[in-house]
Structure 1
C-alpha cells in the first residue's frame, strides 16, 4: 500500500511492522508480554482418545496444542489496550478477542455477556461463539447478537458465519470491528460482502465503542479508558475502506 496521504503514525507503524515481522513469534506458553499488554496464553489441556480395538484399553490422553479457545467474563486491561488498538499495521496481534452480547428476546432473563479469545491455531473465536455460547439455541426464540471484535473475520470465518445466519434466520448479528483484517485481499472482501448480504450489520468501532467495550468487558477497576492519539482518524480510515468494500 502506498503511504501517500496517510498520517505519520501509520508510516511509522508500517516501518515498525516491516522491521519486526520476521522476528516476532508467538509467545511460549506462560510468558507475558509486559510491554505490549498481551495476556498469557491458556494452559494446555488434555483430551482422551478412544483407541480401544481388539479388546485393548484406550490409549493415554493425548496432549493438545497449548493454545485453545478461552471464554471469560472480563478481559485483562493490558490485553485489551494492545489487541483492540485500531492501528493500520497490526504486527504481533496474532489473536482475536470477541466480546458478545446476546438478547434472547426474554426480558426477564437479561443479556448474555462475555468474551472469547483465540490464538488462530485451531477454531477461531467467531466459530466458537456458535458452539460454546449458543449451546442451547432455540429456533423458537429471536436472538439479537452484538459482537465487538479486535479484527474483522477472516474469509473462512465469514463464510461460516454466513452459513449459520442463512440457516438460523431468527439470529440477527451485528459485528463492530476495531480493525479490518487483511482488507486488501480479494478473498477477504468477498467474504465480507457475502456476510453483509445475509443481513449481518458490519461496522468499524467508533471511539465511543472502545470506551463502551472497556467499561463493559474489561477488568478496568473503574478507571476510564484513555484513547490513543489517532483513534478517531484510524476509525475513519477503516470505515472508509469497509464502505468501499460493501458498496
Structure 2
C-alpha cells in the first residue's frame, strides 16, 4: 500500500487499481484451490434461507416481523471455507470482487447454562445483509432480561443502511453490548457511510479495524483451517494502520 500521506483515490481512479488487485487475488485463490484439489480437500458450506424484518412498535419495543425472502440469500454455518476467508477478509483498500459480507460472531448471554454462541453468516447482497440477518436469525429468541455481549469480526464495515439499523437496535435493546472488528472500511470516504459509523459509535458500539492478531484468531476460530496456521499477506499490518487511522479520524 502506498504512503498514508497520499490523497485517497476517487471512484474512477479506484476502478483502475481494483482491476489489477482483483486479478492478483483471484489468481492466488485459484492457485490455492488447485493445490487443495490435488491434496484431496473439498471446500464446503451450508446454505440456509433467511426471513424476517426489523421494526419498532408504538411502545418503542424492537419487533421482528415475518418477511418472505428467496432462498440462499443468507448462508449460515460454523466454519468458513479457507479460500473464501483469505479472499474476502484480505484488508486491501481496493476491494473489487468482494461484493458480499462475511460476519463471524460470538455471543455471551451472561448465563453459564446457555454457553457461548459461535458461527458465521454470509450474504449475497440480494436481500437482507448479514448484519440485519444476525439479529433476525441468531438473536431470534432475544430475552430483555439477559445481558448480551456480542463480538463481530466482519470482512468489511457496514453500509449506511445496516449501520442505521445496528444503531437503532443498540438504542432500543440496552442490554446488548456490541464490539465490531472490521477487516476493511466500506467506502469510508462517503458522507453517509461516515454518518452511519458515527451513529453506531454514539449508540454504544465498540468499533475497531482488525489487527493482524485478529485475522489469526478468526482463522483459528471460524475457518476450516485443517489445523494449518494463517500466513498473513505482506502488507497486512500497513493496511491495518491505514484503515485504523481513517476510522479514528471519522469517529473523533
TM-score normalized by structure 1? Answer: 0.79
Corresponding position: 1:129 with 2:134 = yes
Corresponding position: 1:216 with 2:235 = no
Corresponding position: 1:232 with 2:228 = no
**Shift of residue 135, structure 1, vs aligned partner:** 1.0
Structure 1 partner of 2:39? none
Which consecutive residues of structure 2, in runs of 5 or more, have no partner in the other structure?
Answer: 24-28, 34-42, 52-68
Structure 2 partner of 1:109? 114
**Shift of residue 42, structure 1, vs aligned partner:** 7.7
Structure 2 partner of 1:244? 249
Number of residues paired by the alignment?
216
From 191, 196, 201, give the equivalent of 1:191.
196
Contact 1:42 1:66 in 2 (8 A): no
From 5, 29, 34, give the equivalent of 2:30.
34
Corresponding position: 1:99 with 2:104 = yes
From 185, 201, 205, give the equivalent of 2:206.
201
Higher helix share: 2
From 81, 84, 95, give the equivalent of 2:86.
81
Deviations 1:100-146 (A, max 9, x none): 00000012332000000001111000000000000110000000000
Contact 1:98 1:115 in 2 (8 A): yes
From 166, 169, 178, give the equivalent of 2:174.
169
Question: CA–CA distance in 1 between the matches of 2:248 and 2:183?
Answer: 15
Corresponding position: 1:151 with 2:156 = yes
RMSD of aligned residue pairs (Cα, Å): 3.1
From 130, 143, 146, give the equivalent of 1:138.
143
